[in-house]
Structure 1
């Protein structure tokens, strides 16, 4: 069980100069649910000890293919427009007006510097434009989440906010 959560309120989003420069070039696009299985493959290649074991991956694939009014498993993919290549992506789920990140990846090649952060910023914009109340980035121990503008909430405070947003 988690005791702390990193939550992003969209008004607190921090966009670095390097990421803003990438945004201004318009060379990438963010899409939803177009390359779900490729995102899983990339995550497993990126994380050497991925928790996406075959049995768990099968459950995720089943959830992805089973529409629900209350729960949506989804993938967000950062695509380089020129090459149509998947550069970064993540898996997460939506309940009500919340989005929770589960795991992700980004290409580490030099030409894609800051593309992992770009994917996160573009996802924050997407969520805000689609009237989400908050983004649960999960465990608060990773500094990139705080750098993005997330605040750390203790479990009780997190649950109060989360329960309001899932209704």
Structure 2
């Protein structure tokens, strides 16, 4: 059973405390794709995806049980990525061409959830003006010669915390490990820009721990997240 959630729920401290302390539930659902709902959910520590079934399309804010967190002092760079760094045949970019990166993600992932109203919500975030320090971020690696996008991702900042949403990397053999290169370059960019840590989301993928991430339980994650969500870079 997944409970319905509204913006008023997110604005109610007692409801938020209940959700954070409810260790039996992690997903909630809503039909509110407004940027105000999305940003408030992100501010409270939810990571939102979308879901479609029987012609019903909803947003699924998740208060995860566990999180993979990267503190930049723990960043690990493999020998293969070090070799690519020296090769220097790429260009790393952080930009606002959100739609281009989203389209690449959807092209790569046949079951991508960044579609329909969810995609439009992300694009609408460009126009956000409010009290929460929120910003959508997109990054990519391009082949220096062909300008072809090899890898990239989209995510957002709340205060001094960056949270990943989804990403992609080329399946061409000659671009092996460029997805890992993109992660390392993004980590370096975030550190140099003054971010406190990187929320890599679910801790179920090995590459996150190969990168240097640490496993945090919900309560511990929310403690460090709340310390940083109102700070400025």
TM-score tier, shorter chain, comes to: over 0.9
Q: Deviations 1:40-90 (Å, cap 9, x if unpaired)?
A: 111111111111121110111101343556100111111121111111110
CA distance in 2, matches of 1:102, 1:65: 19
Which one has more relative contact order, counting CA pairs under 8 Å at least 6 apart? 1
- Matches of 2:125 and 2:80 in 1, distance apart? 36
TM-score (norm 2): 0.69
1:48 corresponds to which residue? 110
Structure 1 or 2, whichever has the larger Rg, is 2
Distance in 2 between residues matched to 1:44 and 1:165, nearest whole Å: 31
What is the CA distance between 1:35 and its match in structure 2?
Answer: 3.2
Root-mean-square deviation (CA, aligned residues, Å) is 1.2
TM-score if structure 1 supplies the norm length? 0.95
Matched, 1:147 2:210: yes
SS of the aligned residue for 1:102 comes to strand
CA distance in 2, matches of 1:34, 1:23: 24
1:130 aligns with 2:193: yes
Q: 143, 152, 174: which one pairs with 1:111?
A: 174
Residues 89-114 of structure 1, C-alpha deviations (whole Å, 9 max, x = no match):
10100111110000000001011000
- 1:90 and 2:157 matched: no
* Structure 1 contact 70–96 (Cα < 8 Å) conserved: yes
Name the count of aligned residue pairs.
Answer: 167
1:5 to 56, 64, 67: 67
For residue 167 of structure 2, give the secondary structure of its aligned residue in structure 1. strand
**Counterpart-to-counterpart distance in 1, 2:112 and 2:173:** 23
CA contact (8 A) 2:96 2:137 kept: no
Segments of 5+ residues of structure 1 without an aligned counterpart are none
**Structure 2 gaps, min length 5:** 1-25, 27-63
Within a 5 Å distance, the mapping from 1:55-66 to structure 2 comes to: 55-66=117-128
